[in-house]
A and B are shown apart, each in its own frame.
Chain A
Amino acid sequence: MSRYQEGDPGAACALVTRLSPQLYRFFLSQFVSRAHADDLLQETWMRIHEARHTYRPGEPVLPWFYAIARHIRVDHYRKAQRRATRELPMEESAEPVQPAAADPPGHSDLETLLATLPESQREVVALLKVSGMSLEEVARATSSSVGAVKQKAHRAYEKLRQLLGGAEAPASRKGAAS
Chain B
Amino acid sequence: MKDEEIDDVLKRAAGPPPEVDTALIQRITGSIGANLRPVRPLPPTWLLRMVVAIVCAGAAAIAGVALGIQGLQKMHLAEAATLFAALAVFIWLAAESCVSEMVPGSRHIMTPKRLMAAACVAMIAIFALLFRGYHVEQFVAQGLPCLRAGLALAAPVALACWLVLRRGLAVDRSAAGLAFGILAGLSGFAMLELHCPNFEAAHVMVWHTAVPLLSGLAGLLVVWRRR
B-contacting residues of A (Cβ < 8 Å)? Answer: 5-7, 9, 12-13, 16-17, 20-22, 24-25, 28-29, 38, 41-42, 45-47, 49-57, 59-60, 63-68, 70-71, 104-107, 109-110, 112-113, 125, 129-130, 136, 139-141, 143-145, 157, 160-161, 164-166, 168, 170-176
Contacts and interface: CB of A to CB of B under 8 A. Distances in A.
15 contacts: A21-B17, A29-B14, A41-B20, A42-B27, A51-B104, A54-B169, A56-B42, A56-B45, A104-B19, A106-B15, A112-B13, A125-B10, A130-B10, A171-B2, A175-B2
Interface of B: 1-7, 9-21, 24-25, 27-29, 31-33, 35-42, 44-45, 100-111, 167-169, 171-172, 175
Nearest to A24: B20
Contacts of A52: 39
B171 A70 contact: yes
Contacts of A129: 7, 10-11, 14
Contact of A175 (B7, B12, B16, B44): B7
A68 B169 contact: yes
Do most interface residues of chain A lie in helix, strand or loop, or is the interface mixed?
Answer: helix
A24 B28 CA distance: 13
Contact of A144 (B12, B19, B111): B111
Contact of B25 (A20, A112, A141): A20
A78 to B, nearest CB: 9
A46 B103 CA distance: 17
B42 A53 contact: yes
Contacts of B168: 54
Given A16-B29, A140-B106, A168 B38 contact: no
A109 B106 CA distance: 33
A65 to B, nearest CB: 8
Contacts of A54: 41-42, 102-104, 167-169
Contacts of A67: 104-105, 171
Nearest to A78: B227
Contacts of B27: 42
B2 A25 contact: no
Contacts of A16: 25, 28-29, 32
Given A7-B36, A13-B29, A174-B3, A107 B105 contact: no
